Chains A and B, each alone.
Chain A
Amino acid sequence: MKAMLAGFLGVAVIGVVAYLGLHEIGFSSQEVYSSDNVRVD
Chain B
Amino acid sequence: MLRHLMALFILALVALPLGATAQDVRLPENATPSAIDRNSTGGAQNLADIERRQNGAEIDDGFRRDNLGGDASTVPGLGPLGGRSDPDLWRGIRYNELPVRVSTMNKTGRVLVQDNGMWWLNFREGPLATYGIWLLAGMLVLLAAFYLLRGRIRIEGGKVGRTVTRFKAIERFAHWMLAGSFILLALTGLATLFGRKVVIPLLGHEFNSVLLTGSKFIHNNVSWAFMIALVMVFVMWVYHNLPDRTDWTWIKQAGGFIGNNHPPAKKFNFGQKIVFWGVILLGFSVSLSGLSLLFPFEVQLFGHTFGIINDIGMAEAAGLGPLQSDLTPHAEMQYAQLWHAIIGFLMMALILGHIYIGTLGMEGAYDAMGSGEVDERWAEQHHSIWLDEVKQDNRQTPAE
Judge if B175 is at the interface, Cβ distance under 8 Å: yes
- CB < 8 Å: which of A2, A7, A32 contacts B174? A7
Q: A11-B184, A15-B221, A32-B296 are in contact. Are A4 and B370 (CB under 8 A)?
A: yes
Q: Is the C-beta of B222 less than 8 angstroms from some C-beta in chain A?
A: yes
Contacts A1-B371, A32-B294, A32-B295 given; indicate if A14 touches B228 (C-beta within 8 A).
Answer: yes
Interface size class on chain A is 20 to 34
Once the chains bind, are A8 and B180 in contact (CB under 8 Å)? Answer: yes
Residue-wise interface mask of B (216-227) relative to A, using a CB-CB cutoff of 8 A (1 in contact, 0 not): 111011101100
Q: Once the chains bind, are A15 and B222 in contact (CB under 8 Å)?
A: yes
Given A4-B370, A7-B177, A8-B180, A14 and B224 touching (CB < 8 A)? Answer: yes
Cα distance, A6 to B229, chains bound together (Å): 13
Assuming the contacts A7-B176, A27-B295, asked whether A16 and B370 have C-beta atoms less than 8 A apart, the reply is no
Query: Closest approach, in angstroms, between the C-beta of A28 and any C-beta of chain B?
Result: 9
Which of B174, B176, B177, B221 has a CB less than 8 Å from the CB of A18?
B221
Q: Is the CB of B176 within 8 A of A4?
A: yes
* Bound CA–CA A14/B228 (angstroms): 9
How many residues from B make CB contacts under 8 Å with A? 30
A7 adjacent to B224 (CB under 8 Å): no
Closest residue of chain B to A14 (Cβ to Cβ) is: B225
Contacts of A7 in B (CB 8 A): 172-180, 229
Interface residues of A in 12-36 (CB under 8 A from B): 14-19, 27, 29, 32-33
Residues of B within 8 A of A32 (CB): 294-296
B181 at interface, CB cutoff 8 A: yes
Q: Kindly list chain B residues whose C-beta atoms are within 8 Å of the C-beta of A17.
A: 224
Which residue on B lies nearest to A21, using beta carbons?
B224
CB neighbors of A among B120-163 (8 A): none
Selected from A8, A14, A19, A33, the residue in CB contact (under 8 A) with B176 is A8
A27–B225 CA distance with the chains assembled, in angstroms: 17
Interface membership of A38, Cβ < 8 A: no
B370 touches A15 (CB 8 A): no
Q: Separation in Å of the A17 CB from the closest CB of chain B?
A: 8
Does any Cβ of A come within 8 Å of B372's Cβ? yes
Q: Which residues of A contact B221 (CB under 8 A)?
A: 15-16, 18-19
Residues of A within 8 A of B225 (CB): 10-11, 14-15, 18
| Chain A residues near B104 (CB-CB < 8 A) | 37
B295 touches A4 (CB 8 A): no
Interface residue? A3 (CB, 8 A):
yes
User: Of residues B169, B175, B180, B296, which shows the largest number of chain A Cβ atoms within 10 Å of its Cβ?
Assistant: B180
Establish whether residues A18 and B224, one from each chain, have CB atoms under 8 Å apart when the complex forms: yes
How many Å lie between the Cα of A14 and that of B222 in the bound state?
Answer: 7
Report chain A residues within 8 Å CB of B174: 7
Given contacts A4-B172, A15-B224, contact A10 B295 (CB under 8 A): no
A3-B224 CB under 8 A given contacts A32-B294, A32-B296, A33-B296? no
Complex Cα–Cα for A9 and B182 (A)? 14
25 A-B contact pairs sorted by A residue (CB < 8 Å): A2-B169, A3-B169, A3-B172, A3-B173, A3-B175, A3-B372, A4-B180, A4-B369, A7-B175, A8-B176, A8-B177, A10-B173, A11-B180, A11-B184, A11-B222, A15-B221, A15-B224, A16-B221, A17-B224, A18-B221, A18-B225, A27-B295, A29-B220, A32-B295, A33-B296
Interface of B with A (CB < 8 Å)? 104, 169, 172-181, 184, 216-218, 220-222, 224-225, 228-229, 294-296, 369-372
Q: Which 4 A-B pairs have the closest CB atoms?
A: A7-B176, A3-B172, A14-B225, A15-B221
User: Footprint of B on A, CB under 8 Å?
Assistant: 1-4, 6-8, 10-11, 14-19, 27, 29, 32-33, 37
Additional A-B contacts beyond A14-B224, A32-B295 (18; CB < 8 A): A4-B172, A4-B176, A4-B180, A4-B369, A7-B172, A7-B179, A8-B177, A10-B173, A10-B177, A10-B225, A11-B181, A11-B184, A14-B222, A15-B225, A16-B221, A18-B224, A18-B225, A29-B217
